[in-house]
Structure 1
Amino acid sequence: MSTINLHHLRLFRAVARDGTLTGAARALNISQSAVSTQIKALEASLGHDLFERMGRNLVLTEAGRIALDHAEEIFRASENLAATLKSAGARRQVLRIGALATLSRNFQIGFIKPIIGREDVEAVLRSGVQAELLRALEAMAIDVVLTNLVPARDAASPYLVHKLSEQPVSLIGTPDPGLQTRSSRELFQTQALILPTPESALRASFDALLEQLGVVPRIAAEADDMAMLRLLARANAGLAVIPPIVVRDELEAGTLVEYARLDGITENFFAVTLQRRFPNPLVAETLGAFTPGM
């Protein structure tokens, strides 16, 4: 394999950042044809196309995304040679994680726990809505999506769905000795409830349970964000229908208590990836190291 020309690599990085040959050529003060020629030379040297055209813009292929990661690493090293030598040439890896904005923060921390504190790994976390995150996954801007919603799939679906954990769901609130001996049905009938919003799978399961029991709830609040459900429970707005993992710290401290486990209702957590020709090894490593207890 021929030696990579660092000048070509610098031009490649400029095009990747700008998204056009014209803009990159203008920034580098060279001709567009020269940039195009040297990008083609780099692609020939690596044996892979680095860009594909989308309208007027150039977007990175999967090989291009990997090449850009390495290019950034090479130039960071050249700009900070002394620090690189002191670290004995250790190479930092990047794991890009997208998480549903409403997902439990404890679950997210549990997922990245195996790589926390590693000097050779940088974790980049983004949050957003599911559709946005899946688009980023397909564009290879992130490596894995954490969610409690299974993406729609068919025979042509590109997604690989890994079920990480199935967590119980409980009725949780601030300490009240008078509630400790009551059944879940009595609690449903007498206490204000803090519930997930109706579009969630968890709420659908809970509504089915109430219908089976013939109970009409008194709803104090609804939220689509696990963190908000947690805060409402802490503020004594009512009893929250929530997985204990979300309020693990409060349960351990005694600021919240579990009054009833809701049998038959669970919250599932998933990691969504793509089948890639050049997979990020940290994805398989993190999935393999994850423990359901979080």
Structure 2
Amino acid sequence: MRMSHLNFNHLYYFWHICKAGSVAGAAEALFLTPQTITGQIKALEERLGGKLFKRQGRGLVPSELGQLVFRYADRMFMLSQEMLDIVNYRKESSLLFDVGVADALSKRLVSRVLETVATVETPIHLRCFESTHELLLEQLSQHKLDMILSDCPVDSSQQAGLFSLKLGECPVGFYCCQPLPTAPFPACLSERRLLIPGRRSMLGRKLLSWFGAQGIQPEILGEFDDAALMSAFGQRNNAIFVAPAMDAAEMGGAMQVQKIGQLEQVQEEYYVIFAERMIQHPAVQRICHSDFSALFSGGGESQR
């Protein structure tokens, strides 16, 4: 007997259990009781004529039938979420644009990139969220963000449906307040305690590798995921800290700090990461089609 109708609510609950790995996790996400979801899954199994899950440890994994059903359900609900994203960002008077920013990045450079979408022709309601690269990727995959600005690309072979584009790169500068170290760079790094980006960031790992290759063993006072906090802490504690080399003029004028050295061998890279469904978002398109070469060479302007 052929099935002529399928209860899509049942299928939706099944999909959530697969994503969460348990009935309890799905119930929490859906604001339902586990008993309610269990009953709905039993009804779906009766409709499909087989078990959809099997036990694995304390969790649930799809059975062979469940794997087949999940492949179709995942495509269906991801497509429906894409539709809602497109409808929602077009129905507002201002175009909603949710951007995740990796906290290790220079806020000055990030703000210049985001200025690209703040145009009179297309009113934008910009919402920025700051976190680690890993957590932002998770939120992007869950349709909670439209785009990410980060210091490393995404592996499209491992993250299906996600793409990255390199905007540019800039040398790394070392800064501190007066009185300045007396030794030339990089020997001067041993005269003060040093602040660097956290080793979870791409730049932090690059710097640690460069120190090792040069035989430099600085006294590291702290590792910071947040670039702005690292700068503020460095000034308050008379430490050397890291920032883009092109920030020298702005820091010297506004914060009375001075660049004591620059690394051309170590570059801080800037990428945008977005989901395939957001390729048509006007703000994503504008950023991807902009030329930021002047910005990352120190000129400060982008061109379309």
TM-score class normalised by the smaller sequence: 0.5 to 0.7
Letter paired with 2:139: A
Paired residue secondary structure (1:286): helix
TM alignment of 1:269-280, pairs within 5 A:
269-276=270-277, 279-280=280-281
Shift of 1:178: 5.5
Deviations 1:15-36 (A, max 9, x none): xxxx98x9xxxxxxxxxxxxxx
TM alignment of 1:145-224, pairs within 5 A:
145-154=148-157, 157-176=160-179, 179=182, 182-224=183-225
Letter paired with 2:108: N
Give % identity. Answer: 16
Deviations 1:222-257 (A, max 9, x none): 212111211122214311133235676323336111
Q: 1:224 to 1:286 in 2, by over 3 A?
A: same
Q: 1:247 to 1:226 in 2, by over 3 A?
A: farther
Partner of residue 83, structure 2: 63
Deviations 1:59-83 (A, max 9, x none): 9421122223445x3xxxxxxxxxx
For residues 225 and 262 of structure 1, the distance between their equivalents in structure 2, rounded to whole angstroms, comes to: 20
CA contact (8 A) 1:173 1:236 kept: no
For residues 267 and 127 of structure 1, the distance between their equivalents in structure 2, rounded to whole angstroms, comes to: 18
Specify which of 103, 106, 114 is matched with residue 101 of structure 1: 103
Partner of residue 118, structure 2: 116
Shift of 1:260: 0.8
Deviations 1:48-69 (A, max 9, x none): xxxx978xx9994211222234
Shift of 1:115: 3.1
CA contact (8 A) 2:153 2:166 kept: no
TM alignment of 1:1-294, pairs within 5 A:
60-71=80-91, 73=92, 91-116=93-118, 118=120, 120-154=123-157, 157-176=160-179, 179=182, 182-245=183-246, 249-253=250-254, 255-276=256-277, 279-289=280-290, 291-292=292-293, 293=295, 294=300
Deviations 1:121-146 (A, max 9, x none): 22121222333322332343322111
Shift of 1:99: 1.3
For residues 238 and 181 of structure 2, the distance between their equivalents in structure 1, rounded to whole angstroms, comes to: 17
Letter paired with 2:253: E
For residues 139 and 223 of structure 2, the distance between their equivalents in structure 1, rounded to whole angstroms, comes to: 29
Unmatched tracts of structure 1, length 5 or more: 1-18, 23-51, 74-90
Unmatched tracts of structure 2, length 5 or more: 1-28, 33-71
- TM-score, reference length from structure 2: 0.63
Deviations 1:235-284 (A, max 9, x none): 14311133235676323336111111123011111100122387212211
For residues 108 and 275 of structure 1, the distance between their equivalents in structure 2, rounded to whole angstroms, comes to: 22
For residues 185 and 220 of structure 1, the distance between their equivalents in structure 2, rounded to whole angstroms, comes to: 17
- TM-score, reference length from structure 1: 0.65
For residues 175 and 166 of structure 2, the distance between their equivalents in structure 1, rounded to whole angstroms, comes to: 25
For residues 95 and 277 of structure 1, the distance between their equivalents in structure 2, rounded to whole angstroms, comes to: 10
CA contact (8 A) 2:98 2:147 kept: yes
Letter paired with 1:120: P
CA contact (8 A) 1:159 1:274 kept: yes
For residues 145 and 255 of structure 2, the distance between their equivalents in structure 1, rounded to whole angstroms, comes to: 38
Q: Which runs of 4+ in 1 moved over 6 A?
A: none
Letter paired with 1:103: L
